[in-house]
Amino acid sequence: MKLYKFVGSFFVILLLSAAILSTVQPRSYTHAIQVDSCNQEFTYNKSDKDLDFDDSRVNIDLQSYQGDNDRRVVFTAKSGYVIIYYGVDYTGNDDFEASGNLSSLQSHTYTAPDNQTIDNVSVKVKKVCATPTSTPTQTPTATPVWTPTTTPFATQTPFVTQTPFVTQTPIATDNPCEEDCNEPTPTPTPTVTLTPTPISTPIVTATPVATIFDVCANIEGIQTSVPDGKHLDAGNVNCVEFSPSGPSESSSTSGGSSVTPQVLGASTMAATGVFEESLFYSLFSFGSLLTSFGIMRNGKKRAILIN
């Protein structure tokens, strides 16, 4: 019986405890994490009781120097911070015997003079933030999508190369001989350029024509000598017959002067007979013909060679 009462009491207590706990609201505890801002400054003032100090921003280390305790102090800024001011008191008053603004140093050391002992220090640090470097954003370049194009199959016509037909024109060779001759016909060589040579025309000097003397002006025709049975008259112009008294000496001389026949034209030739003059004229004419024929034939040969 007592056991049942004990168990019942225990269950009642458990139920009451559960009811009480359900009515109580639990508290939430939030710990705010402090984040320093860029260029935010923090000042630390430390006395002789807590000169040695260290936190997340700065470290203050009091050291001995040359056997004197607390004569030197070293200020060291932590990562992300720099020291911009320091102050040191080594006489025990409120003023700092040594102080100064610093140009963003990471560490600074001060030693008190004359075996003095450092009593108070002050240090100011600043939060330094790195300047973010802007990273250029690359704009993706659209890659063109190649779309295959169906090209119709073209039947190619074979290309036939035509060889040009060269018609050779025969070169007519003129026969330089007007009559039959055995001389070879000169064939001009294409690679040789012939320079025409000027043809010299021979200067034909006219042979003086013999002047015919008409001895007897009174006899018809030309008399080159005094006919037999006649003699020249006193003026040496007419031929007259001898008188019955006999031939006169005037045929050879007259008054001591020689008989000169009548001159019908100027002449540089001596008096010749009819046969000799005819032969001379025949030879002269034949020579002139041969000379003309030779000049014409030579001219034709040269014209063929030039062409």
pLDDT at 180: 56
**107, exposed or middle or buried, with CB in 10 Å at 0-12, 13-18, 19+?**
exposed
Find the largest Cα–Cα distance for the chain. 248
pLDDT at 3: 63
Q: Which residue has the tokens 């040594």?
A: 98
Q: Which residue has the tokens 């090209």?
A: 151
Give dist(CA 261, CA 264) in Å, integer: 10
Residue pair 205/267 in contact (Cβ under 8 Å)? The answer is no
Please list the rounded mean pLDDT of every run of 10 residues in the chain (307 residues). Answer: 66 79 57 81 87 93 87 94 94 83 92 89 93 69 69 56 57 56 62 58 59 81 85 86 60 41 45 71 89 83 68
